[in-house]
């Protein structure tokens, strides 16, 4: 049996079954970050993301600055999805010794620019030779216990929202996005957000992750999903990934209160949480409703 036969999701579950955690861990694998006991009123958030040439970017189409920006941005987006604040990062980079120094400089400059924007301390890292350019970042953050938001809190009757627009990653958004940290913090500090995830692998797949963790279903409405003008089609837009928007659920009562607040990036109502037996459903513009597969970006 090969890894490609098992698939990414099943491989992660295979590994997770072998892991044993002590009482200091509130949440391990299965959310945007790990959640660890820390102080009486805060949790520690811990995440990591790897960027690999050929899988996440192509040097012929991406500037080194953009690659560095994206490498840290993906991690900050994960912290945002938990309702937290990023604090400290370590950066590891594998690079071909024959590469121009300007590539390494550009990557680091991109990382440092985004770190400055969101007040992240780069506190160390590692270098290694590699045929392909690889950037691996581990990021520590923090979140007030009352503001922690997991994937597993969605409830039947919740309304489903997404920030920004969906479907522009193939037109370059994945290299130029701004993590929705300010928006996430504004939401969790003023409202009760029941569940949240960042859209990194596609709207359908990441919504399915909320549904799977919460043991519920959802109905989304095609006419309500904010599709980017740069999207190829609706079908591609909801499954191609790397939009790095926030996907979240809240009760109708909380949604009415939230409607009065202006976020830096507006959020759109796209659906509702329903009984888990109904699965993930799409109400099309033509009035036909159909069951959807959780399609999105997976490495294998």
**This prediction's pTM:** 0.95
CATH topology match: 19-146 vs 150-291: no
Stated length of the chain: 300
- The pLDDT score that the predictor gives to residue 221 is 98
Residue 298 has a pLDDT of: 55
Who has greater pLDDT, 207 or 260? 207
C-alpha span between 27 and 45 (Å, rounded): 9
CB atoms closer than 10 angstroms to residue 253: 12
Query: What residues contact 43, with CB distance under 8 A and at least 6 apart?
Result: 26, 35, 36, 37, 84, 142, 143, 145, 148
CATH number, domain 19-146: 3.30.1330.10
299: left (phi over 0), alpha (psi -120 to 50) or beta: alpha
When the pLDDT of each residue in the chain is averaged and rounded to a whole number, the result is 94
pLDDT the model gives residue 299: 61
Q: To which residue do tokens 């036969």 refer?
A: 5
Residues contacting residue 222 through CB under 8 Å, at least 6 positions apart: 234, 282, 283, 284, 285
Q: What is the pLDDT of residues 202-227, one digit of tens each?
A: 999 999 999 999 999 999 999 999 99
CATH superfamily of 150-291: PurM-like C-terminal domain (3.90.650.10)
> What per-residue confidence (pLDDT) applies to 7?
76
- pLDDT, tens digit (0-9, with 9 covering 90-100), for 136-171: 999 999 999 999 999 999 999 999 999 999 998 878
- Average pLDDT value for residue range 243-264: 95
Phi first, then psi: what are they for 271, rounded to 5°?
A: 175, -165
In the chain, where the domains are located: 19-146, 150-291
The secondary structure of residue 24, as a DSSP letter, is: T
Are the beta carbons of 88 and 139 closer than 8 angstroms?
yes
pLDDT band of 297, cuts 50, 70, 90: low
Query: Given strand 217-221, what is the order of strands in its sheet?
Result: 195-198, 246-250, 159-163, 267-274, 217-221, 280-283, 289-291
Lateral strand order in the sheet of 121-129: 25-27, 34-37, 42-52, 134-144, 85-95, 121-129
- Using DSSP's 3-state secondary structure scheme, residue 93 falls into strand
Q: Is a pLDDT exceeding 80 seen at residue 9?
A: no
Percent of the chain with pLDDT over 70: 98
């Amino acid at each position: 049996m090969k890894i490609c036969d098992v698939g990414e999701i099943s491989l992660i579950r295979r590994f997770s079954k072998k892991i044993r955690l002590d009482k200091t861990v509130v949440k391990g694998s299965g959310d945007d970050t790990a959640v660890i006991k820390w102080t009486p009123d805060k949790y520690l958030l811990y995440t990591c993301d790897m960027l690999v040439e050929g899988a996440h970017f192509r040097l012929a189409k991406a500037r080194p600055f953009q690659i560095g920006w994206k490498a840290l941005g993906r991690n900050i987006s994960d912290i945002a999805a938990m309702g937290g604040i990023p604090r400290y990062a370590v950066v590891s980079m594998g690079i071909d010794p024959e590469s121009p120094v300007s590539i390494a400089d550009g990557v680091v400059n991109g990382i440092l620019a985004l770190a400055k924007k969101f007040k992240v301390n780069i506190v160390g890292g590692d270098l290694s030779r590699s045929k392909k350019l690889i950037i691996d970042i581990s990021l520590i953050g923090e979140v007030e216990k009352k503001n922690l938001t997991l994937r597993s809190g969605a409830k039947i009757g919740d309304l489903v929202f997404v920030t920004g627009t969906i479907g522009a990653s193939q037109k370059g958004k994945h290299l130029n996005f701004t993590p929705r940290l300010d928006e996430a913090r504004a939401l969790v500090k003023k409202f009760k957000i029941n569940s949240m995830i960042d859209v990194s692998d596609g709207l359908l797949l990441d919504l399915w992750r909320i549904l799977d963790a919460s043991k519920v279903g959802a109905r989304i409405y095609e006419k309500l999903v904010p599709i980017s003008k740069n999207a190829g089609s609706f079908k591609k837009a909801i499954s191609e990934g790397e939009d790095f928007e926030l996907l979240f659920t809240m009760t109708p009562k909380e949604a009415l209160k939230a409607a009065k607040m202006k976020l830096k990036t507006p959020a759109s109502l796209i659906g509702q949480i329903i009984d888990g037996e109904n699965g993930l459903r799409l109400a099309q513009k033509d009035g036909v409703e159909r069951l959807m597969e959780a399609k999105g970006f997976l490495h294998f």
